[in-house]
């Protein structure tokens, strides 16, 4: 009997000069599938057995994979499965929001090892960066007590904050954190930490977290609809996070709700958590805000439910738009809101509008609930340096082929 399980993996290339891509392909296959033998990896990645053996030996020597106990299947020779070594790499993720900052440290497989948060001075990036650098220093100190190799294996710092980025005119639009947008944030953090620093918007960070450890794990085409202080969509297309030409892909919260745009009302003005706070007259800087909203959602407060039902109308339209434009396998609702509130929103969004996604052969729901954790943005930010260092990139193999040609 042929007992060969399907394995998800990106194809490698046996062309000369593509070893870096093939290392990433191997790590990605182990991340997606768990422990695999060399034969499994060769079959899944379409690499030669010799190429796989060479890469596995290299990854084991470099401390990224570890062999497990040999397994005998049928009458053949026993095979040795390999798994990723979590301590092979570490990264730090940083969320910068309007009133607070959160930082986490993760290992190679996305496990959160350390986390910490602090309040930020309003509209003061110079003072805020001092708070952030102190937070990161504390995270690194705690991480070094967990692993003596953490500093040597720290691959970078990922930062997530509200977008869109790079717009010249902000006016008094506090949604876009204009003071922080104008501040040389990445350069200051790189100089203060000595780490390579990457930036993404908060919706993209949520999508990165979902791809690493959530509902988008192993899904090639997914859109994460993020409902936070603002609203955004993190786009996972062909297994990779799509950022757009200026890092602003998925800024669906900026979409006008009127085709003519006469009143300038955009999606996040009516369906974001900021609009909920305004509706309930809550202070966004209140340290107990999360608990207060959770209690209101658990009690099905009438004023909160009124906002939920109104917001769900606009969010239902956004799902229709996402499905029509991107044709994802699934849309994942993510949020920094309490799970009780996120579930109320999800329920109120049904029934979904008819779209091209209403197919009889679906294997995933059109809309599902993802991570509802206020730390998910920091987790996604931390996952970005891991992804940057270890995930296969289609663009990289194109460059390899161009060089080979």
Summarised one tens digit per residue, pLDDT across range 8-55 is 666 555 544 467 888 988 998 898 888 999 999 999 888 899 999 999
Kindly state whether residue 132 falls inside one of the protein's structural domains: yes
Instruction: Return all residues near 339 (Cβ < 8 A) that are at least 6 apart.
Output: 369, 372
39 and 71 part of one domain: yes
Which one has a higher pLDDT value, 3 or 166? 166
Assign 139 a pLDDT band (cuts: 50, 70, 90).
very high
246 and 338 part of one domain: yes
Rounded mean pLDDT, 131-141: 97
Assign 195 a pLDDT band (cuts: 50, 70, 90).
very high
113 and 257 part of one domain: no
C-alpha to C-alpha distance for 256 and 265, rounded to whole angstroms: 6
Which one has a higher pLDDT value, 67 or 163? 67
> Is the per-residue pLDDT at 131 higher than 50?
yes
Assign 399 a pLDDT band (cuts: 50, 70, 90).
very low
Is the separation of the CB atoms in 391 and 28 below 8 Å? yes
- Structural domain including 75 reads 19-84
pLDDT at 164: 80
Buried/exposed 25-41: b ≥16 CB within 10 Å, e otherwise? bbbbbbbbbebbbbbbb
C-alpha to C-alpha distance for 73 and 55, rounded to whole angstroms: 24
Instruction: Return all residues near 342 (Cβ < 8 A) that are at least 6 apart.
Output: 227, 333, 335, 369, 372
C-alpha to C-alpha distance for 102 and 132, rounded to whole angstroms: 9
CATH code for the domain in which residue 327 is found: 3.30.420.40
273 and 177 part of one domain: no
327: left (phi over 0), alpha (psi -120 to 50) or beta: left
Element (H, E) at 112: strand 112-119
pTM of the predicted model as reported, rounded to 2 decimal places: 0.85
242 and 171 part of one domain: no
92 and 76 part of one domain: no
> Is the per-residue pLDDT at 72 higher than 60?
yes
Kindly state whether residue 273 falls inside one of the protein's structural domains: yes
Highest mean pLDDT: which range of 76-85, 350-359, 391-400: 350-359
Q: Quick one: which of 264, 197, 274, 208 has its CA closest to 235?
A: 208
224 and 178 part of one domain: no
CATH code for the domain in which residue 54 is found: 1.10.10.10
Instruction: Return all residues near 36 (Cβ < 8 A) that are at least 6 apart.
Output: 7, 29, 30, 44, 81, 82
pLDDT at 8: 61
Kindly state whether residue 112 falls inside one of the protein's structural domains: yes
Q: Identify the residue whose tokens are 């891509």.
A: 21
Can you read off the two tokens belonging to residue 154? 């720290």
- For 316, 322, 369, the CA distances from 347, given in Å and listed in that order, are 11, 18, 10
102 and 201 part of one domain: yes
Is the separation of the CB atoms in 165 and 245 below 8 Å? no
Q: How far is CA 266 from the centre of its chain?
A: 24
Element (H, E) at 82: strand 81-84
Rounded mean pLDDT, 162-183: 73
Kindly state whether residue 73 falls inside one of the protein's structural domains: yes
Task: Calculate the average pLDDT of the chain.
Answer: 87
C-alpha to C-alpha distance for 217 and 109, rounded to whole angstroms: 12
C-alpha to C-alpha distance for 207 and 331, rounded to whole angstroms: 11
225 and 159 part of one domain: no
Kindly state whether residue 1 falls inside one of the protein's structural domains: no
Which one has a higher pLDDT value, 212 or 102? 102
Cross-strand pairs, 236: 222, 241
What are the DSSP calls for 218-266, one per residue?
T-SSEEEEEESSSEEEEEEETTEEE--TTS-TT-GGG-BSSTT-SS--B
pLDDT at 344: 98
Highest mean pLDDT: which range of 199-203, 346-350, 390-394: 346-350
238: left (phi over 0), alpha (psi -120 to 50) or beta: left
Q: In percent, how much of the chain has pLDDT > 90?
A: 60
Is the separation of the CB atoms in 61 and 96 below 8 Å? no
Kindly state whether residue 359 falls inside one of the protein's structural domains: yes
Planar angle of CA 379, 198, 108, nearest 5 degrees: 45
pLDDT at 163: 81
Q: pLDDT digit string (tens) for 289-324? A: 999 999 999 999 999 999 999 999 999 999 999 999
Residue 94: what are its φ and ψ, rounded to 5°? Answer: -130, 125
Q: pLDDT digit string (tens) for 329-365? A: 999 999 988 999 999 999 999 999 999 999 999 999 9
Element (H, E) at 212: helix 202-213
189 and 60 part of one domain: no
Is the separation of the CB atoms in 91 and 382 below 8 Å? yes
Assign 173 a pLDDT band (cuts: 50, 70, 90).
low
Q: Quick one: which of 16, 34, 15, 116 has its CA closest to 7?
A: 34
DSSP state, residue 350: P
Q: How many domains does the chain have?
A: 3
125 and 175 part of one domain: yes
364 and 247 part of one domain: yes
């Amino acid at each position: 009997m042929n007992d060969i399980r399907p394995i998800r993996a990106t194809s490698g290339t046996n062309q000369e000069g593509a070893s870096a891509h093939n290392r990433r392909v191997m790590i990605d296959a182990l991340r997606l599938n768990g422990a695999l033998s060399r034969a499994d990896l060769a079959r899944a990645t379409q690499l030669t057995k010799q190429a796989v053996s060479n890469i596995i030996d290299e990854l084991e020597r470099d401390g990224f994979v570890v062999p497990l106990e040999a397994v005998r299947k049928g009458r053949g020779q026993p095979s040795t499965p390999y798994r990723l070594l979590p301590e092979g790499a570490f990264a730090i993720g940083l969320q910068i929001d309007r009133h607070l900052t959160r930082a986490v440290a993760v290992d190679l497989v996305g496990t959160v090892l350390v986390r910490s948060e602090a309040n930020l001075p309003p509209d003061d990036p110079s003072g805020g960066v001092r708070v952030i650098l102190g937070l990161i220093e504390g995270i690194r100190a705690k991480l070094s007590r967990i692993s003596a190799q953490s500093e040597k294996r720290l691959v970078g710092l990922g930062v997530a904050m509200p977008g869109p980025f790079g717009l010249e005119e902000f006016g008094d639009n506090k949604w876009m954190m204009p003071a922080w947008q104008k501040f040389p944030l990445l350069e200051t953090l790189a100089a203060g930490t000595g780490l390579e620093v990457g930036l993404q918007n908060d919706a993209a960070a949520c999508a990165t977290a979902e791809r690493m450890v959530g509902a988008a794990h192993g899904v090639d085409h997914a859109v994460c609809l993020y409902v936070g202080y603002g609203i955004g969509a993190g786009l996972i297309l062909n297994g990779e996070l799509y950022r757009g030409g200026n890092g602003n892909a998925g800024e669906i919260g900026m979409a006008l709700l009127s085709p003519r745009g006469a009143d300038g009302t955009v999606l996040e003005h009516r369906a974001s958590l900021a609009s909920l706070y305004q509706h309930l007259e809550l202070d966004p800087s209140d340290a107990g805000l999360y608990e207060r909203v959770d209690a209101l959602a658990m009690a099905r407060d009438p004023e909160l439910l009124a906002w939920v039902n109104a917001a769900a109308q606009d969010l239902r339209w956004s799902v229709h738009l996402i499905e029509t434009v991107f044709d994802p396998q699934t849309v994942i609702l993510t949020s920094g809101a309490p799970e009780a509130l996120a579930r109320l929103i999800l329920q109120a969004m049904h029934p979904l509008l008819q779209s091209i996604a209403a197919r009889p052969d679906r294997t995933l729901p059109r809309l599902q609930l993802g991570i509802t954790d206020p730390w998910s943005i920091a987790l996604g930010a931390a996952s970005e340096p891991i992804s940057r260092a270890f995930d296969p990139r289609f663009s990289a193999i194109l460059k390899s082929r161009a060089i080979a040609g």
